[in-house]
Structure 1
Amino acid sequence: MDDSLKYLKPVAMEKAYRLLNVGGTGMISAEYKGETGMMPATWVCALDLMPFKATAVIDKSHFTRPLIEKSGYFAIALPTLEIIEETMYLGSVSKYDVKDKIEKSGAKIFTLDGFDIPFMKGCAAYMIFKLIPEEHNQQAYDLFIGECVKAYADERVFKDGHWIFEQADPKFSTIHYVAGNHFYSIGKAYDTKISI
């Protein structure tokens, strides 16, 4: 039996921005009236600390985009090396073409906290955002801004407000998309002499 969900712990809002501060690939998902969408995106970025806000660039051609626009919510999760193949499949197939793409990806799906937004098991962190409507940015730049309303992280890699990848199994490393089918996973930790 899969017990990975027992490791999910709430993340304090003042620490939630750190979940996106590693530059990893984000898994964007949304739901509207029973219709779900899920797609990886690499142009995902923390925008503000408190309240924690983030941005995501989501092209007009993506199935997930109108779900975000209609529902007013979206999620960002951080896929790990353990689910790299599922992540790549979700990014290479459109739900416009393959209606059951999420099922065909092999991803194990769950929801959190009364939201119907789908999440893929095996991610290092999960965040739910309320869309901050900025029509000009969305239409001109495909740029979506959201305020985080819930954040969770797997305590095996994020504990007490800090990433601890160096202490975890490498399969829990976040993945960083480059191009084609080429990814990196997060590597070793290094501390400088100067501390801030």
Structure 2
Amino acid sequence: MQSFRQPVDLTRATRLLNHGPVTLITSAHAGRSNVMAASWAMPLDFTPPKVVVVIDAKTLTRQLVEASGVFGLQLPTRGFARHTLAVGSNAGVEIDKFAALQLATFPAEKIDVPMLEGCVAWFECKVIPDDAQRHDLILAEVVACYADTRVYSDNRWHFGDDHDMRTCHYVAGGTFFETGDTFEVEAAPVSGTR
């Protein structure tokens, strides 16, 4: 299978998350792994790049992340939406979601966590210990980042006509919307001063 993944300069890693798509979090520890959907993920800092994700303390993913100190953060596509809904609707303590959904993975470069095929951006994250964790927030430094060249290059998203390659946003009840077309504008002129 041809790989379209290319490294993204870590100083530009947060640009991959700026448009607010649903994300998938992969985790592993002591021979056990899990994947979950997470709509609450955002960039936090540029240098070094940091992200914040919300992972409920009662989940298997949270247990694995706390035990290992690392996790994978991925941006799924519209073409992967059925799997995104399935991993978000089933608890990892009940089933092995990777096996049950026949999810294709590849090894991360700098952490020991499976990364998912069917996505267009991947972040390898190392947890930063912080008091925010008691509020289900996980702060992490991005230690490696890569994106699919078919939709991301020159530090910009460029979604084309293949709608299955667009990232998506989750609303509720199995409803998603896809990332739309881009457009550019110049800033309005500023007149006067305050």
Q: So what's the TM-score if we normalise by structure 1?
A: 0.91
Task: Report what 2:105 is aligned to.
Answer: 109
Matched, 1:119 2:115: yes
Residue identity in the other structure for 2:169: H
Instruction: Say which of 153, 172, 190 aligns to 2:183.
Output: 190
CA distance in 2, matches of 1:158, 1:85: 23
Shift of 1:104: 1.2
Shift of 1:114: 5.2
Task: Report what 2:125 is aligned to.
Answer: 129
1:1-196 matches, cutoff 5 A: 2-3=1-2, 6-98=3-95, 100-113=96-109, 115-134=111-130, 136-139=131-134, 141-165=135-159, 167=160, 169-194=162-187
Equivalent pairs counted in the alignment come to: 188
Shift of 1:187: 0.7
Q: Secondary structure at the match of 1:23?
A: coil
Q: So what's the TM-score if we normalise by structure 2?
A: 0.92
Residue deviations 1:25-82 (CA, integer Å, cap 9, x gap): 0101111122111101000000011111000000012111011111111111000011
Contact residue 31 and residue 67 of structure 1 kept, 8 A: yes
Shift of 1:108: 1.3
Residue identity in the other structure for 1:153: A
The range that moved more, 111-120 or 9-18, is 111-120
Q: Percent identity?
A: 35
Residue identity in the other structure for 1:47: L
Aligned CA RMSD, in angstroms, stands at 1.3
Contact residue 13 and residue 145 of structure 2 kept, 8 A: yes
What stretches of structure 2 of length at least 5 have no aligned partner?
189-194
Q: Secondary structure at the match of 1:90?
A: helix
CA distance in 2, matches of 1:107, 1:119: 10
The structure whose residues are more often helix, as a share, is 1
Residue identity in the other structure for 1:159: S
Shift of 1:124: 0.9
Residue deviations 1:133-179 (CA, integer Å, cap 9, x gap): 11x3112x1000000000000001110111111x3521110010111
Shift of 1:184: 0.6
CA distance in 2, matches of 1:96, 1:112: 23
